[in-house]
């Protein structure tokens, strides 16, 4: 095993790809966001809280969160992605929903629903993490009661070298690879998502979780800045 | 100890607002141990020991005594269901709407029918967000012809202005009758050209609500577009 100084795309092992985040990109939505990490681009649009029909889906004790994750047909690296829900996108939708639920104060709008639509026009691995980051900005932008934001990024190892934010090339590299998407609540430092593809040793796992914690803090600052940028001018009003 | 943010600062969910037990959490905030944390996106208001957030985004939340504009979307046996631009619909009972005696089984569409817009006041909001409306009170009525506009519910105080200064300036200049509900639905009625100017002025207030010297600019805008 050769220890390289830099990764194939020139990044350090604990370095993420370039990140861009913006709030309020979809005019018609109640809240929306763009989150770009390298060549992975995620749009999230939030509608609601609004009335939920059919009525039997309503929960009188709390509101309901619905997420839809969707890769656009032209988004992949090669083949066309078949549009519409698939086994993979249904699972990721559910996983994103579970990652966002712990921060939402859904009891504030019983019987209602919040819809989150995540669309990816361009993908290069790390889509569920980008989707979670975008969705959490969009939910805050929609003014929904939340206890925290959620920041997510992937970690893992490529042939024994622990890295954060894997690209598609790294994920599909020959040899032993582990891809671990992680989502954090930055304030409490609690995990809301931890999945793994591949195999990893205990020490490597602990090391990668340490790296990803630091990376998520950086993402959190970017998310925060995106939201503040949109609203800062509303700051000084002299009404009432 | 003390405040972690400045008054009128924009905060995001999860941001720390204050440390220690000297401060009390109010609307939009919660306490986690010794810290007070933002529970939504908003602007900090910390004038006393009480810290609250003024929401800057989000759907309209029904509040008792708000005057709002709603649309009739259903007629039931005992009243009307009103769409109030919120996550919840509201109920207007016959007793709260019509002064005369209404016999049981009367066809209620003869008073208000589908698609009618009403200026109403919220008399009660339950914990389950059932909203009760009334039509009894000054200025509460069914709206006739005119234009319906939608604005952000959070900009309504700015559009109305201090003691209604902004809205009455627009009314006087354009000779329009204007009602803006707290839920962000507005109604404008006048000569068609005047209506357009009034709506443009309202949009201008909404877009530039954060800037200072807005009243002068709106005044200038209205003077420029005034019909002779």
State how beta strands B185-189 and B147-150 pair. Answer: antiparallel
- Taken in order of first residue, the domains within chain B and their CATH numbers are 2-55 (2.40.50.100), 67-142 (2.40.50.140), 147-224 (3.30.1370.10)
Among chain B residues, the shortest Cα distance to A185 is held by B14
Rounded Cα–Cα distance for residues A120 and A81 (Å): 11
Spacing of C-alpha B114 from chain mean position: 22
- Rounded CA-CA distance A79/B117 in Å is 52
Q: Do A231 and B158 count as a contact with CB atoms less than 8 A apart?
A: no
Contacting residues of B for A141, CB less than 8 Å apart: 41, 57
CB contact under 8 A, A143 and B56: yes
Give pLDDT tens digits for A137-188. Answer: 999 999 999 999 999 999 999 998 999 999 999 999 898 999 999 999 999 9
Res B27 pLDDT > 60? yes
The answer to whether residue A235 scores a pLDDT higher than 70 is no
- Does CATH number 3.90.105.10 belong to domain A19-228? no
With tokens 């000779």, the residue in question is B175
Dump pLDDT digits (tens) for A1-53: 455 578 888 999 999 999 999 999 998 999 999 999 999 999 999 998 999 98
Rounded-to-integer distance, Cα A76 and Cα B101, Å: 67
Which of A31, A103, A149 lies nearest to residue B57, judging by beta carbons?
Answer: A31
Pairing of strands A177-185, A190-194: antiparallel
């Amino acid at each position: 095993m050769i220890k390289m100084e830099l990764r194939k795309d020139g990044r350090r092992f604990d370095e993420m790809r370039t990140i861009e985040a913006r709030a309020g990109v979809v005019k018609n939505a109640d809240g929306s966001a763009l989150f770009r990490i390298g060549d992975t681009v995620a749009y999230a649009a939030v509608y609601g809280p609004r009335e939920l029909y059919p009525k039997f889906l309503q929960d009188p004790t709390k509101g309901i969160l619905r997420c839809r994750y969707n890769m656009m047909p032209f988004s992949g690296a090669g083949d066309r992605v078949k549009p519409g829900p698939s086994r993979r996108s249904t699972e990721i939708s559910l996983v994103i929903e579970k990652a966002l639920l712990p921060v939402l104060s859904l009891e504030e709008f019983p019987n209602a629903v919040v819809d989150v639509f995540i669309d990816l026009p361009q993908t290069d691995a790390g889509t569920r993490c980008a989707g979670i980051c975008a969705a959490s900005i969009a939910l805050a932008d929609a003014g929904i009661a939340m206890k925290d934001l959620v920041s997510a990024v992937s970690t893992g190892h490529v042939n024994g070298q622990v890295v954060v934010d894997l690209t598609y090339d790294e994920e599909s590299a020959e040899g032993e690879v582990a891809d671990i998407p992680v989502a954090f609540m930055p304030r409490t430092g609690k995990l809301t998502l931890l999945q793994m593809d591949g195999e990893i040793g205990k020490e490597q796992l602990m090391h990668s979780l340490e790296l990803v914690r630091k990376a998520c803090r950086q993402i959190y600052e970017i998310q925060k800045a995106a939201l503040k940028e949109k609203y800062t001018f509303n700051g000084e009003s002299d009404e009432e | 100890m003390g405040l972690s943010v400045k008054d009128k600062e924009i905060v995001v969910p999860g941001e720390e607002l204050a440390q220690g037990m000297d401060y009390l959490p109010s609307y939009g905030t919660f306490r986690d141990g010794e810290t007070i944390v933002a529970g939504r996106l908003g602007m900090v208001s910390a004038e006393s020991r009480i810290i609250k957030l003024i929401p800057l985004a989000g759907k309209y939340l029904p509040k008792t005594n708000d005057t709002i504009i709603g649309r009739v979307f259903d007629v039931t046996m005992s009243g009307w269901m009103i769409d109030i631009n919120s996550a919840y619909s509201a109920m207007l009972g016959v007793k709260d709407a019509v002064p005369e005696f209404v016999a049981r089984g009367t066809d209620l569409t003869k008073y208000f029918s589908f698609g009618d817009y009403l200026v109403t006041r919220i008399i009660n909001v339950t914990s389950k967000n059932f909203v009760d409306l009334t039509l009894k009170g000054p200025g509460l009525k069914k709206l006739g012809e005119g234009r319906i506009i939608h604005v952000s519910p959070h900009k309504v105080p700015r559009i109305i202005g201090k003691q209604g200064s902004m809205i009455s300036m627009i009314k006087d200049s354009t000779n329009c009758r204007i009602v803006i509900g707290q839920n962000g639905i507005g109604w404008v009625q006048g000569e068609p050209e005047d209506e357009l100017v009034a709506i443009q002025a309202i949009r201008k207030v909404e877009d530039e609500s954060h800037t200072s010297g807005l009243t002068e600019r709106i005044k200038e805008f209205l003077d420029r577009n005034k019909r002779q």
